[in-house]
Chains A and B, each alone.
Chain A
Amino acid sequence: MTDFPRGRTAIVGAGTFGTGRAPGYSASDLAGIATARALAEAGLTLADVDGLFFCHGTDTLGGLSFAQYLGIQPKVTDNNRTGGSAFQTMVENAAYLLDAGAIDCALIAYGSNQASAAGKLVNTVQPNPYESPYRPMTPLTSYALAAQRYLHQYGARREQLGEVALAARAWAQLNPEAYARDPLSMDDYLGARPINDPFGKYDCCLVTDGGAAIVMTRTDRARDLKARPVRVLGAAAETSHREIMCMPDLTTTAARESGRRAYARAGISAADVDVVMVYDAFTINTVLFLEDLGFCPKGEGARFVEGGAIAPGGRLAVNTNGGGLSCTHPGMYGLFALIEAVRQLRGECGDRQVADAQVALAHGNGGVLSSQATVILAR
């Protein structure tokens, strides 16, 4: 494949701030502080940034607002709003622009103070007149409908979704930055307040604040910088629908296509991936994405995660920060999946470090399983 600059760009800095509760900070404050930390890690400054990739939870012109906040005049301002997958797509687009020489340094950032400001997941989309009469809890009900169909079609059980929640929590207990670190048992999971069948409380992501930022440049330049570069081997995206009624098959996502093309661009397969980060807004996500990204066959995901298989010490390390379910979920989680992948590849993960992690996959999801974007990284 020659349609992607394989390995020719790299992530050279990653920063997070306020990933639990951060009262007193605006979304731009949180993203700004994460940006300062990511640049410091790389040994770069704001003056180096000429490509800005930003998504603000509620400000539709957030990319402009954040350029102003940083006091920079970027040549490229990308205000992508494909939901939580936006950041994986930003990595793909930044790679093309960097490789073409259109920009020299890309900043990808996000911030949200939804938990402190609103106390709940802030809905940033217009109600659809063909859905709103039925009062779905958006986006939760749509994911619940996908989970119900999956359980029906493949004879899977709630306990298997519970394995995803328990694994995420067990990883979070090894991560000092994770927000939810109390022990979680299968009894706790099954006995939790029901929300939308088959989901109870622990099937659903956290509602937190948080800021995150990464810095990218060309790999030849990255070698002169402070931090160990993490190369972008491949990236690809695909959108299949917006509302759940228009998703062709609720048990198969467009991650199958984004993953297939990302692997081809990277020149690897799922078997070569040492650590996997998938956007787990709900427990069903992890099951669907492990299938669609080739870690197990379609319909086998629920069995695949049984017996602590994706928990610490299991057969595949998945969402080692605790994921959206137990680490952080400030509205759009995709960038946090990328940052955990970077930290694993640099060997910075302490008690949760996956030994000798060489290749990582970070997958983003946007809307209601609507927009899928996959990034493959290597040290």
Chain B
Amino acid sequence: MPIQPDLEWHQHLAEGRFMLCADAATGVPFYPPRAIVPGKGSEDVVWIPASGRGTVYSSTTVYKRLPETNYNVALVDLAEGPRMMSRIEGIDPADVVIGMAVTARIEWPEGGDPFVVFVPAEGAE
């Protein structure tokens, strides 16, 4: 049976695992999850663990009017290759810079689905 991408993505996160889809034949990962290998069409898709290491490819501050607060939206290039939209936390949105090394963690809001955010990498310059 082909994988069930959205369901399995959320199941892995709920169990504390940040996993990526990959082409079973080559091991090349892709994101977002899909039931077939993009550009190829193969149904042989496997889940592989993500290292959680990434680099900020682009980043913006979304400005909100009070009482809401400004927040970050970023594109993170994962060490494994794929790029994902995410948020850099644990740092003022204004201080997030392109090229910054970041590390993934799983956030699970009450009543919602778990998702992946990033924080500045330990020991990063």
Contact = CB atoms under 8 A, between A and B. Distances in A.
Given A129-B6, A149-B98, A152-B58, A196 B85 contact: no
A107 B87 CA distance: 45
B98 A134 contact: no
Contacts of B112: 133
A245 B73 contact: no
B63 A145 contact: no
B62 interface: yes
Interface string A28-57: 000000000000000000000000000000
Interface string A122-146: 0000001111011111000100111
B115 A149 contact: no
A195 B58 CA distance: 16
B83 interface: yes
Q: Please indicate which of the listed interface residues B58, B71, B86 has the most CB atoms of chain A within 10 Å of its own CB.
A: B58
A245 B86 CA distance: 10
A156 B9 CA distance: 38
Contacts of A133: 107, 112-113, 115
Contacts of A128: 32
Interface string B101-114: 00000010000110
| Majority-rule SS of B interface residues | strand
B61 A196 contact: yes
Contacts of A196: 60-63, 73
Contacts of B59: 145, 148
Contact of B73 (A129, A130, A141, A250): A141
Given A144-B60, A196-B62, A152 B73 contact: no
A213 interface: no
Interface size class of A (residues with CB under 8 A): 20 to 34
Contacts of A137: 62
B75 interface: yes
Interface residues on B, range: 20 to 34
B112 to A, nearest CB: 8
A4 B112 CA distance: 51
A193 B70 CA distance: 13
A149 B63 contact: no
B63 A194 contact: yes
- Residue of B33, B60, B115 with most partner-chain A CB within 10 A: B60
Interface in B52-85: 57-63, 71, 73-75, 83-85
Contact of A197 (B6, B61, B75, B84): B61
Contacts of A145: 58-60, 73-75
A243 interface: yes
A145 B87 CA distance: 12
A360 interface: no
A134 B58 contact: no
A116 B74 CA distance: 33
A205 interface: no
Contacts of A194: 61, 63
Interface in A221-278: 243-246, 250
Contact of A134 (B33, B57, B63, B73): B73
Contacts of A197: 60-61
A134 B60 contact: no
A133 B115 CA distance: 7
Contacts of B71: 135
A146 B63 contact: no
Nearest to A129: B6
Contacts of B61: 194, 196-197
A145 B59 CA distance: 6
Nearest to B62: A196
Given A129-B6, A133-B113, A245-B83, A146 B58 contact: yes
Contacts of B33: 130
A35 to B, nearest CB: 39
A57 to B, nearest CB: 24
Nearest to B57: A149
A134 B58 CA distance: 14
23 contacts: A130-B31, A130-B85, A131-B85, A133-B107, A133-B113, A134-B73, A134-B87, A134-B115, A141-B60, A141-B62, A141-B73, A145-B59, A145-B75, A194-B63, A196-B60, A196-B62, A196-B73, A197-B61, A243-B32, A245-B75, A246-B83, A250-B57, A250-B58
Interface of A: 128-131, 133-137, 141, 144-146, 148-149, 152, 193-198, 243-246, 250
Q: Which 10 residue pairs spanning A and B have beta carbons closest together?
A: A133-B115, A149-B58, A130-B32, A145-B58, A144-B60, A245-B85, A152-B98, A197-B61, A197-B60, A196-B60
